[in-house]
A and B are shown apart, each in its own frame.
Chain A
Amino acid sequence: MYKTVKHQLFILPFSGGSVKYYNKWLTHLNPSIQVELIEMAGRGIRKSDVKYNNFDEATLDLFKIIKNKVDTSNFYIFGHSLGALLAYEISLKFQTEQLDLPKAVYLSGRTSPFYRFHENVEQLSSNEIIKELQSLGVEDIDIYKHPRAGKYYLSLLCGDYNLTKTYCKQEPILSKVNGHIFYGITDPFAVDINSWQDYFENKLDIHCFLGSHFYINNNFKEIIEIINKNIVLSWKNKIYVK
Chain B
Amino acid sequence: MAEVEARIPNRRDEMRTIAALVEQFGLTHLVPSRIVNELNVALDEILNNIISYGFEPGEQSEILVRLSLQQGERVAEIEDAGRPFAPLGAPPPDLAGGLRERRVGGLGIHFVRNLMDAVEYARVGECNRLRLSKTLAPDEREKPGGERHGNS
Query: Is B truly associated with A?
Result: no
Residues of B within 8 A of A (CB): none
Residues of A within 8 A of B (CB): none
